[in-house]
């Protein structure tokens, strides 16, 4: 009877998870999706808990309470820290899969070796490799995003790096094959632990050469791995619910990775093994042109006289926490009859959708957020393109400069606007290490400084009576 | 070994093999459903989508509960309890932060 309940619960939970994702197709229904997800999870947990083989309840209760104690604060981080929270949760997902795989292996070796069929052993190896590489890889990614001191932010590369990385993975897989052939030999336990160690090491080494601008893609790939680790766990435990839920997560990560890669015109392998941003080629485009600086008064005037303003936010806006000042400016301009739109590049920020969430936090209606493909045809009619802390995603060099790492990447055509106002923290080049000719265009005016401070000053110009 | 026992064993092996195929079948179908559904998700919501799928893939909690709560040696159950804690953290923080973000998306 409880078995049947368990089977039915698995079907019900799968259906609820599918609805949960289905409702994410529109912001209007999305919150219902969370409800469906919670319901599915509740059904799955309770149906498992009532099974007859669960005889010890104390530790389960303790672990659940501990999960709440850590989970609740983790859900309240500032939205600028959402990328690192996401990476951290991928790490937890990988850890759980890796530990369950390890526990099950040693359990079966000790008690019922006949359970370790070739199929099951392959699933355990896949679960453990995916789980532990996701664990350390995601921890590294979270550390880089959080700018932890002892993790270098810039990509770290050395000669033969790809050879070392792929070599480690190949050894781990080869040991895995050995385990499938000989799951219960006297040395099998040591080999198993060696696979764990190699996966842990591979996760770290995989992320070391990756820099900030690639994080949206890398987080998506790790998301996919975490899902696949759950699928492998499903194969190990003979549990279809794990397989379906893991597959949903895995395919979500896969689609996001593909979208992110396309938005940078790069391939998976290029992201993981290409060490973006290390090619510090001095893109000497003609003679060195000079910046033209604009005053906040001038900027305010330009904005007020515009009919269409397109704001192009980037990671700089997130770093400066400038989204609330952006909102004030948005209000002032729309009140004066100026149309304000936000152009969102798919890889702006540090994770997919990062800019949308920050702008939504500042109460900017999502109807004002426009995707790159939709805004680009409108750019020639745009009076002022206001670039806030974005760099590579508006660099015209992406269209023709073949020797730069951003070549071929689709960009927001800020340079086609009648006037460009660019808010920039420093005069350093962007992440890709190349100069941005947008900033030295004839119709571009620069506002140097912290985005929040600069925009605050611009907003003051409107309120201070200098303009009317 | 009697013939009937051998037949039963063969049937058992057969049964196990069939089960693995049905698991793979489920995996492939679920992946296609996932691809179809995720493709339709609004681009505005990619960040909450990721935290939501994160919480959903913490379904690993189901496996962790079994390893923690069954009659297994203590070391095995300790590993299970850590896995259960990690999954539970993802469930709680994943659903809560997804809802928190989605609340912010307003039309006007």
Q: Quick check: B88 and A66 CB within 8 A?
A: yes
Catalytic residue at A392? Answer: yes
pLDDT in tens, A209-245: 888 778 889 999 999 999 999 999 999 999 999 999 9
Q: Quick check: A356 and B46 CB within 8 A?
A: yes
For residue B100, give how far its alpha carbon lies from the nearest alpha carbon of chain A (Å): 8
Closest Cβ–Cβ partner in B19, B52, B91 for A20: B52
pLDDT at B11: 46
Rg of chain B, C-alpha, whole Å: 21
pLDDT at A288: 57
Q: Does A64 touch chain B (CB under 8 A)?
A: yes
Proportion of chain B above pLDDT 70, given as a percent: 82
Residue B89 binned pLDDT confidence (cut-offs 50, 70, 90): very high
pLDDT at A402: 82
**CB under 8 A, 24+ apart: contacts of A287-293:** A289/A437, A289/A440, A290/A440, A291/A427, A291/A439, A291/A440, A291/A446, A292/A444, A292/A445, A292/A446, A293/A445, A293/A446, A293/A447, A293/A448
Q: Which CATH class is domain A296-463?
A: alpha beta
Query: For residues A266 and A404, what is the distance between their CA atoms, to the nearest angstrom?
Result: 13
User: Per the residue annotation, which of A392, A413, A415, A435 is the catalytic one?
Assistant: A392
A·B CB contacts under 8 A: 370
Q: Which residues of chain A have pLDDT under 70?
A: 272-289, 428-434, 464-468
pLDDT at A278: 46
Q: How many contiguous H segments (helices) and E segments (strands) does chain B have?
A: 4, 0
pLDDT at A39: 98
Q: Quick check: B92 and A241 CB within 8 A?
A: no
Q: Quick check: A239 and B82 CB within 8 A?
A: no
Residues in chain A closer than 8 A to B89 (CB atoms): 66-67, 70-71, 74, 89, 92
pLDDT at A463: 74
Q: Does A363 touch chain B (CB under 8 A)?
A: yes
For residue B96, pLDDT beyond 60:
yes
Query: For residues A441 and A134, what is the distance between their CA atoms, to the nearest angstrom?
Result: 44
Q: Does A106 touch chain B (CB under 8 A)?
A: yes
Q: Quick check: A238 and B44 CB within 8 A?
A: no
Residues in chain B closer than 8 A to A53 (CB atoms): 66, 69-71
Q: Quick check: A251 and B107 CB within 8 A?
A: no
């Amino acid at each position: 009877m409880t078995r049947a309940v368990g089977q039915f619960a698995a079907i019900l939970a799968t259906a609820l998870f599918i609805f949960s994702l289905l409702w994410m197709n529109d912001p209007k229904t999305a919150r219902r999706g969370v409800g469906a997800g919670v319901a599915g999870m509740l059904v799955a947990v309770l149906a498992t808990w009532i099974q007859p083989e669960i005889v010890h309840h104390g530790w389960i209760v303790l672990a659940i309470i501990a999960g709440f104690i850590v989970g609740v604060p983790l859900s309240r981080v500032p939205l600028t820290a959402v990328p690192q929270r996401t990476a951290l949760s991928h790490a937890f997902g990988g850890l759980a899969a890796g530990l369950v795989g390890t526990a099950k292996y040693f359990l079966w070796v000790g008690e019922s070796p006949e359970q370790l069929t070739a199929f099951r052993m392959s699933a355990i190896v896949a679960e453990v490799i995916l789980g532990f590489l996701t664990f350390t890889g995601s921890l590294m990614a979270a550390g880089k995003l959080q700018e932890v001191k002892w993790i270098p932010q810039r990509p770290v590369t050395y000669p033969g790096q790809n050879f070392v990385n792929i070599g480690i993975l190949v050894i781990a897989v080869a040991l895995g094959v050995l385990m499938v052939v000989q799951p219960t030999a006297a040395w099998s336990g040591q080999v198993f632990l060696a696979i764990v160690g190699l996966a842990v090491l591979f996760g770290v080494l995989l992320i070391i050469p990756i820099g900030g601008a690639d994080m949206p893609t890398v987080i998506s790939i790790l998301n996919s791995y975490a899902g696949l680790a759950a699928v492998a766990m499903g194969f190990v435990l003979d549990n279809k619910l794990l397989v379906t839920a893991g597959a949903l997560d895995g395919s979500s990560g896969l689609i996001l990775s593909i979208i992110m890669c396309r938005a940078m015109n790069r391939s998976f392998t290029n992201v993981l093994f290409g060490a973006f941003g290390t090619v510090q080629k001095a893109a000497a485009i003609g003679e060195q042109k000079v910046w033209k600086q604009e005053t906040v008064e001038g900027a305010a005037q330009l904005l007020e006289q515009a009919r269409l303003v397109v704001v192009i936010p980037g990671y700089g806006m997130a770093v400066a926490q400038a989204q609330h000042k952006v909102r004030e400016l948005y209000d002032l301009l729309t009140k004066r009859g100026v149309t304000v739109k936000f152009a969102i590049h798919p890889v702006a920020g540090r994770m997919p959708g990062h800019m949308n969430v920050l702008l939504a936090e500042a109460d900017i209606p999502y109807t004002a957020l426009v995707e790159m493909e939709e805004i680009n045809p409108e750019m020639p009619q745009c009076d002022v393109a206001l670039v806030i802390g974005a760099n590579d995603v508006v660099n015209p060099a992406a269209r023709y400069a073949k020797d730069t790492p951003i070549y071929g990447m689709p960009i927001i055509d800020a340079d086609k606007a009648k006037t460009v106002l660019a808010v920039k923290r420093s005069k350093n080049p962007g992440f890709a290490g190349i100069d941005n000719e947008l900033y030295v265009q004839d119709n571009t005016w620069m506002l140097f400084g912290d985005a929040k401070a600069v925009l605050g000053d611009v907003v003051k110009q409107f309120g201070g009576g200098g303009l009317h | 070994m009697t013939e009937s026992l051998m037949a039963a064993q063969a049937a058992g092996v057969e049964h196990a093999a069939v089960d693995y195929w049905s698991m793979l079948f489920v995996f492939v179908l679920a992946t296609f459903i996932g691809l179809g559904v995720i493709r339709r998700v609004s681009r505005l919501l990619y960040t909450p989508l990721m935290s939501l799928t994160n919480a959903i893939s913490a379904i690993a909690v189901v496996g962790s509960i079994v390893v923690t709560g069954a009659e297994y040696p203590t070391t095995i159950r300790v590993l299970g309890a850590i896995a259960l804690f990690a999954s539970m953290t993802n469930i709680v923080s994943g659903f809560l932060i997804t809802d928190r973000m989605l609340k912010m998306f307003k039309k006007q």
